[in-house]
Amino acid sequence: MDASNAPENRLRTMWREGRCALGVIATIPSIQTVQVLAGSGLDFILIDMEHGPIGPGEAHAMIAATAGTPLVPLVRVAALTDWHAKIPLDLGAFGVCFPMISTRADAQAAVRAVRYPPSGERAWGPFYAPMRWGVSMRCYQDRADDEVLAIATIEHVNVLETIDEIVAAPGLDLAFIGRGDLATSMGHHGRADHPAVESAAEKLETVIRASPVVLGGVAPTPEQANAMIARGYRALVVGFDWSLLQRGIAGALDGVKRDRA
């Protein structure tokens, strides 16, 4: 397959059409869970190598489990380094999400980590990525820089002073507002709904929405998702695998009487 026939990153297509991509953060190292998610109408999965018990082997299996489905595999890494990004990309991830992006230099480093030279600093070694993408090695190398997403998590109060510079970094594709860590950095641990946190998030939204960078966030309820889409969000995490599992179990048990009538 030549580069002109290579599949495009489906999320880029959705964003060009003005549509919002919906996804889940996966913390459970399970192929079977990914298969269920892939058949549930989601657009992307964010495999969590930052907070979840997921190593390279499990991440590879989870990425491979999305093949042949509409689910786009992204990976959240633990630190902003080239080698943290290198492994999931070589395993076939369509994008890497970096934590605590707080400066323009951070954003530029994130972009360089997912691009091959001369545009970036990604090392060569995509032995398994072409298999997941369903293309030849040559085709993958020709298209990877255009299709892979550089994703920043905006999650510290200091970003309020630097967000304009961050979203101006060439090549940055998506910025997730992480309200949990944002609240913690503001002294409101566990209070993402605190008025001061809400105000800070609104300021970040305004700047990101006015930039070429896609605005992303977390929407745990349909009502929140619809409101955020109306405000310009185009990538929303609707839950974690574990939280959705808990909610499903709670719903199944709701109203069930354990004692014999």
pLDDT, tens only, 132-156 = 999 999 999 999 999 999 999 999 9
Residue 261 maps to a domain: no
Is there a cis peptide before residue 118, judged by omega within 30 degrees of 0? yes
Residue 26 maps to a domain: yes
Residue 259 maps to a domain: no
Residue 260 maps to a domain: no
Sorted by sequence, the CB contacts under 8 Å of residue 228 that are 6+ apart come out as 217, 219, 236
pLDDT, tens only, 26-53 = 999 999 999 999 999 999 999 999 999 9
Range of the domain at 56: 3-253
Residues 56-76 have a mean pLDDT of 97
Residue 116 maps to a domain: yes
Task: Work out how many domains the chain is built from and give that number.
Answer: 1
Marked catalytic residue, from 51, 60, 84, 188: 51
9: domain CATH number? Answer: 3.20.20.60
Total-model pTM: 0.95
pLDDT, tens only, 168-192 = 999 999 999 999 999 999 999 988 8
Rounded Cα–Cα distance for residues 59 and 73 (Å):
10
Residue 219 maps to a domain: yes
Rounded Cα–Cα distance for residues 18 and 245 (Å):
30
Residue 56 maps to a domain: yes
- State both tokens at 253: 């048990």
Residue 35 maps to a domain: yes
Q: Is 51 a catalytic residue?
A: yes
Using alpha carbons only, what angle is made at residue 234 by residues 233 and 236, rounded to the nearest 5 degrees?
Answer: 80
